[in-house]
Amino acid sequence: MDFGQKLCGGFYMENQVKFYEYYAEWIELYKVGAVRDVTLAKYKMSLKWVRELVPDLFLQDLDRKSYQSLLNQYAMTHEKQTTLDFHHQLKGALRDALDERIIISDPTRKVVIKGKTPRPKKDKYLNQFDLQKLLDSLELTEQVSFDWLILLIAKTGLRFSEALALTPEDFNFFNQTISVTKTWNYKTNEGGFMGTKNASSKRHVSIDWKTGMQFAQLIKDLPDNEPIFVKERVFNSTVNNLLRRCCKKTGIPIITVHGLRHTHASLLLFAGVSIASVARRLGHANMTTTQQIYLHIIQELENQDNDKIMRYLSGL
């Protein structure tokens, strides 16, 4: 059956269709080819859960009570944030169903997001002293290696896929900047360049003079438009294992490559760099994202500011 005709022709108003069937066709119509593969995989995982949890639920029978029940079932095995993400992915399809008058009311209205107790979080970032120990332990030879990749991410806060996609022509040593315009598909065998996570991810990231001089020497003889760090398929786990060994060797907390990005941002915030500047440097779509991720640091800085305010006022 042609689901495109069903959606446009009001087929669902006259024929019962299961929720997971509608959701599957909604993903096919509106998401395939329109979102990144990583995002599409998340939608398909949500579809898998819908089919598993409510295989017999008809779209026309979906109301606030049945939708809340679905979320509650999902929340039994997922943390609150994951449940919220699941809800957001379903909500888009249900809002469209409401616009098409396939359902007569919004089942997502006043939804309550629950979730199991989060696992204890490991440290996501290093302090300045530990980061310096890590960087001092890297083996920065004349040949390109993953040690150089670790250094670059620590100094720039780039995402792993952004750093892998860098080519020599992305470096502007005169202006001491790196142009981030693409990512590398490291999650499949095909590899290759892909677009950035969002429009805000396209940016120029400044680098310090020392890092600039190091990379100018390292990449001077490499092809301009070929990735610096990719010669064969690269696995995130390979670089994480190298980083783990470096952390163990130097006696510092073990973090991941993504933790280097958090380290970079955290140290900038502690150094007094504005949230707006950190958000632009990280390629966040807006400052809200930055504030949510680094809320604990921002609160700590606010406490320090309060002490400064009181000292100033007491001197008047």
In a domain, 237, yes or no: yes
In a domain, 106, yes or no: no
Question: What is the residue whose two structure tokens read 């955290």?
Answer: 266
Same domain assignment for residues 143 and 90:
no
Cα 273 from Cα 98, distance rounded (Å): 45
In a domain, 178, yes or no: yes
Same domain assignment for residues 70 and 216:
no
DSSP letter at 63 equals: -
Same domain assignment for residues 133 and 188:
yes
pLDDT at 239: 96
Cα 280 from Cα 200, distance rounded (Å): 8
Number of residues in the chain: 316
Angle of helix 19-30 relative to helix 80-99, nearest 10 degrees, comes to: 80
pTM above 0.95, yes or no: no
pLDDT at 125: 86
pLDDT at 9: 42
User: pLDDT tens digits for 251-281?
Assistant: 999 999 999 999 999 999 999 999 999 999 9
In a domain, 105, yes or no: no
Domain that holds residue 149: 128-305
Same domain assignment for residues 145 and 271:
yes
Residues of the chain short of pLDDT 70, as ranges, are 1-15, 120-123
Same domain assignment for residues 134 and 281:
yes
Question: What is the residue whose two structure tokens read 């780039």?
Answer: 158
199: domain CATH number is 1.10.443.10
Same domain assignment for residues 167 and 25:
no
Same domain assignment for residues 93 and 175:
no
Same domain assignment for residues 49 and 140:
no
pLDDT at 37: 83
Same domain assignment for residues 178 and 285:
yes
Q: Assess contact for 239 and 256: CB atoms under 8 A.
A: no
pLDDT at 176: 96
Which of these three, 99, 120, 136, is where a domain ends?
99
In a domain, 21, yes or no: yes
In a domain, 239, yes or no: yes
pLDDT at 123: 58
Same domain assignment for residues 186 and 298:
yes
pLDDT at 258: 94
DSSP SS3 for 180: strand
pLDDT at 15: 66
In a domain, 222, yes or no: yes
How many domains does the chain divide into?
Answer: 2
Same domain assignment for residues 195 and 276:
yes
The pair of three-digit structure tokens given for residue 205, joined into one six-digit string: 């990231």
DSSP SS3 for 125: coil
Q: Which of 151, 162, 154 is nearest to 186 (CA)?
A: 162
pLDDT at 2: 46
Same domain assignment for residues 87 and 160:
no
In a domain, 112, yes or no: no
56: domain CATH number is 1.10.150.130
